[in-house]
Amino acid sequence: MSQHAAEAQDTPEQHAFRLRARTYMAEHLPPRLAEEAPWVWDRPELVLKDRRIQKLLFDGGLAGLTVPVVYGGQGLDPSYEAIFLQEALPYRLAWALGNSFNVVLPTLLKHASEGLKRRYVPRLLSGEDLWCQLLSEPSGGSDLAGLITRATRTEGGWLLNGSKVWTTGGHFADMAICLARTDPEAPKHAGLTLFLVNMHAPGMTVRPLRLIEGSEDFCQEFLDDVFVAEDHVVGEVNGGWTVAKTAMANEHAAMGRGWHAGYRSGETTNELAPPEDLLDLAKGRPGDAHVRQLFGEAWVLDAVQLLTTRRIETGIRAGVLPAQSGHISKVMSAKAGARRTAIVSELAGVHGIAARPREEGLSAGMNRVIRHAIGGGTTEMSGNTIGERLLGLPPEPLPDRNIPFSQLAKNAAPKRGG
């Protein structure tokens, strides 16, 4: 629906909100620039900029639109969020706070104590605290409930020891939700607790991970007797899996409806433009039947992916698709992306693997190396979720589900000579 069509359907209250949002953003927000992508972790200045944007939105009464007023929000119904996003199209939004808003906020609202919510939600909404998630560990990613970071009781709280990895934006974060093992004698899902951890606390070391192409989007953390106060447990002690499931469900739903709220936009017809990068590669050989096949195929891949992602976003927002449908967009992106790298490399030929000094040329081939389907959950885990949760197929057998964690094969002391 176009903005004009949407505006015509506003109630008087919605229209007043729309005009207020429009005026305020025109006065305060920086423009949306193509060269400033939502992916910020390589550009500290954008992280700073996003935090300032969030503060401006908060000061203007445009942050946490659906969050209750007592926690610093605006207490409005979800229709106002849609209006806000329509009006925000010309401006940059605080996309660096994706984890804070997509994952941490709904998790805190659902499971945190009144005291934690009153203390942390307003700071999250104002961009004062940037949040990350300490979930995956070096010894296991997909099997999250098999984690080994320990939390042991100490006076007034807990001491956390272990290592976390694949933390998006960990080096910029102030706070984290952290899942740790509090009872190794319970079966693996039943001995976990979710903590709110200060990323600047003594004993917390954050090290950016250098990826294949040199970027540093993710971090590894080392926790060495990091103290967490008693009242910073979210949910029940040993009830962390329930809380983590909320966090993961929100993460997947956000991936499904678009992680960077409002970043994708557009009309519903006339937007399937041919892929420019491939057009450039194909232009040199327009009469080559093989080139034409590859180009046409890539256009189909791009278009179907765009339309499917939007379909899933729309369906999740409207409540006609379950949140797990986000896995469909994710798997499609993974498979289409992999095929696309083959097409690009085929069209680029040797220019995808070698470039003259000071020439930008390797991006075509580099995607063939770095494009994988691991982050945010592997394609294999998504395959299980789609099969079991969306299609109703029987679940995987889980032989380790009811055995005390300390007795599982991978945690038992190695046998001599074994």
Q: Which residues here bind another protein, judged by CB under 8 A? A: 268-274, 279, 282-283, 286, 289, 291-297, 299-300, 303-305, 307-308, 310-312, 314-315, 318, 320-321, 327-328, 331-332, 335, 380, 382-384, 386-388, 390-397
Shortest CA distance to 132 belongs to which of 160, 96, 163? Answer: 96
Least distance to another protein from the beta carbon of 298, Å? 9
| CA separation for the pair 206, 220 (Å, rounded) | 6
DSSP H or E stretch at residue 138: none
Closer to another protein at the Cβ: 331 or 362? 331
Which CB atom, from 319 or from 417, has the smaller least distance to another protein? 319
Pick 242 or 379: Cβ nearer another protein: 379
- Which is nearer to another protein, 178 or 301 (by Cβ)? 301
Q: Which residues is 53 bridged to in the sheet?
A: none
> Quick one: 200 or 290, whose CB is closer to another protein?
290
> Which tokens is 120 given?
């942390």
Please list the residues that pair with 162 across neighbouring strands.
223
Please say which residue, 139 or 379, places its beta carbon nearer to another protein.
Answer: 379
Q: Can you tell me which residue has the tokens 């070096």?
A: 138
Helix axes 326-348, 276-283, angle to 10 degrees: 20
CB of 23 to another protein, least distance (A): 31
CB nearer to another protein: pick between 308 and 411: 308
Distances (CA, A) of 258 to 38, 108, 193, 215: 11, 21, 29, 22
Instruction: Output the DSSP codes for 202-244.
Output: TTEEEEEEP-TTS---EEEEEEEEEEEEGGGEES-TT-HHHHH
Q: Write down the least CB distance from residue 302 to another protein, Å.
A: 9
Going by the DSSP 8-state scheme, the letter that residue 187 receives in this structure is: B
Minimal distance, residue 252 CB to another protein, in Å = 14
Closest distance between another protein and the C-beta of residue 320, in Å?
6
Q: How far is the CB of 328 from another protein (least distance, A)?
A: 5
Smallest gap from Cβ 342 to another protein, in A, equals 15
Q: Which helix (H) or strand (E) holds 157?
A: strand 157-168
The three-state secondary structure class of 15 is helix
